[in-house]
A and B are shown apart, each in its own frame.
Chain A
Amino acid sequence: MNEAELIDKQGCPKAVELSESVHWIGALDPNLRTFDIILKTANGTTYNAYAIRGSEGVAVVDTVKEGFADDFFARLESVADYDEIKVIVLNHLEPDHTGALPELMRRAPGARLFISQKAQAMLKALLKQDQMSYTPVLTGDRVSLGDRTLEFLHTPYLHWPDTQCTYLSEERMLFSGDVFGCHFCDNRLFNDRAGDFRFSFEYYYAHIMRPFKDYVVRALDLIEPLPISVIAPTHGPILRDRPERYIRRYRQLSGPSLESEISPEQKTLLIFYISSYGNTQRMAEAVYSGAMQVQDVRVSLYDLEGGEIEPFVDLIEEADGLVFGTPTINGDAVKPVWDLLSSLTVINIKTKLGGVFGSYGWTGEGVPLVEDRLRGLKMRVPIPGLRVKLIPTDEELEACREFGLQLAQELMGLRARKVIDMADLV
């Protein structure tokens, strides 16, 4: 296939056939270089939407970004009349898939909108329309087009709360939303014809799906039993050549990034520090030594000055507890600590144990600021942070050892619950 097949002889965009009853009616955006702020793309993206024809009507699955609506409507009109459209499915409400929805609903007033249960709260906020009627669906719900039936799979948090997949059993096609997608624009459209998009596929997973691995696994549990001949995602190539490879790859990527080096009864505690005059380093070594006293805690000590962020992120994803040592400079924690802490949105660190310590010269704001950041990341911070003014004394180093010991005991569930009266709280 070449670009000419995406337009007709008059130069109008036309639909591309996936099967006799299913057509791609999306749009190409080859000039996009940054997506959602967090993603780069070297050759743009596609906004994939699909039209499915049954004996009793047509369904449209997803739309496109608003600025590409003209291409979408032209392609839709090349395979269906608006009064034939009975069903509109939104697998994901992000604006790059709902940009043409209001106009589509205006042009096809006989269509019923189907969205996931979790999409309901977002629909109004996104489209700013009060009177929009729709049918919320869950796994197992179906809508018939006569000789074609759409079946919904509830696959939330891939990568928004609202996401779902839609399965066309008669064609063994999975309309997967952003799952199995990537930002890769190729007018040959299909994975057996497009250029090499492996990097884009992996990169997309790493930035979009990785924070939601648990939800990816739950979605795969629903998807894997289905016979699938085509995966039709909302971005990037349509996966019709051996689609099971991509499902298998998602299963691999959703496992641990690193082979586990520890036994099931052990827990891991990572201590990251950075130090200008060696004071925070001495504290770190004492925290490390204290934590080492607790059996079955595997403690590791890392100087942030000697490492790159990306491998640290891989380590953190698998760790049970994280401790950060930071000096305070000009009233703040130092940049390498913030750089690491601002790189953790690609993984899930909720409920991991956290702790903070550091040396300071005047007021020591760095430690409480990092503690607040850990709480903001939904980590547990049960032991108050430890601050030492300038050079730690022997007593202060002993307090660091005790701090490490308490963190390790907390990790293993060995600390007794603290009971206090509100009147004693400062």
Chain B
Amino acid sequence: MAKSTITFEDINVTVTVPAGTRIIEVSEKVGSGITYGCREGDCGTCIMKVTNGWNHLTEPSVLEDKVLRENMAGKHNRLACQAQALGGEISVKPV
């Protein structure tokens, strides 16, 4: 199975994950500061900054794009509860 690495910059931890893993599945377990609200792509609480490997994440859905816009998200921001790792090296941090 394809692997990906997700580095949580705020806590300096890198996790090796199977492709398809959502950021939410690991960030809390390792103690990253990304915080969650609804956990289903609706509230925008878990907006994170992708500092590396933007293209190694699934494309945001129309609904995620809408939530990002409504929350005035910056460039390369994603919802941690929605974004899935596809492979390669990815780095993220809370905004």
To the question of whether A and B form a pair in one complex, the answer is yes
Known: A161-B72, A375-B35. A421 touches B12 (CB 8 A): no
Shortest CB-to-CB span from A174 to chain B, Å, is 25
Shortest CB-to-CB span from A336 to chain B, Å, is 24
In the bound complex, how far is the Cα of B5 from the Cα of A253, in angstroms?
44
Q: Is the CB of B33 within 8 A of A422?
A: no
B-chain residues with CB within 8 Å of residue A418 when the two chains form the complex: 12-14
B77: Cβ under 8 A from any A Cβ: no
Question: Which of A97-105, A138-146, A278-286, A380-388 binds B?
Answer: A380-388
A379: Cβ under 8 A from any B Cβ: yes
Interface of B is mostly: mixed
Known: A380-B10, A417-B14. A121 touches B31 (CB 8 A): no
Shortest CB-to-CB span from B78 to chain A, Å, is 17
Q: Is the CB of B13 within 8 A of A425?
A: no
Known: A161-B72, A417-B7. A379 touches B16 (CB 8 A): no
Number of A-B contacts (CB under 8 A): 61
Q: Is the CB of B11 within 8 A of A425?
A: no
Interface of A is mostly: mixed
The size class of the interface chain B forms with chain A is 20 to 34
B53: Cβ under 8 A from any A Cβ: no
Query: Which A370-426 residues sit within 8 Å CB-CB of chain B?
Result: 371, 374-376, 378-382, 384, 410, 415, 417-422, 425-426
A169: Cβ under 8 A from any B Cβ: no
The count of residues in chain A whose C-beta lies closer than 8 Å to any C-beta of chain B is 24
B51: Cβ under 8 A from any A Cβ: no
B29: Cβ under 8 A from any A Cβ: yes
Q: Which of B14, B18, B21 contacts A420 (CB 8 A)?
A: B14
Q: Is the CB of A380 within 8 A of B33?
A: yes
Shortest CB-to-CB span from A357 to chain B, Å, is 15
Q: Is the CB of A422 within 8 A of B7?
A: no
Which chain B residue shows the least CB distance to A161?
Answer: B72
Q: Which of B14, B25, B33, B95 contacts A381 (CB 8 A)?
A: B33
A351: Cβ under 8 A from any B Cβ: yes
A188: Cβ under 8 A from any B Cβ: no
In the bound complex, how far is the Cα of B7 from the Cα of A260, in angstroms?
34
- In the complex, the 10 A-B pairs of residues with the closest C-beta atoms, listed nearest first: A382-B11, A380-B10, A375-B33, A425-B29, A422-B17, A419-B14, A418-B13, A421-B16, A417-B12, A422-B15
B interface list, Cβ under 8 A from A: 7, 10-18, 21, 25-26, 29-31, 33, 35, 69-70, 72, 94-95
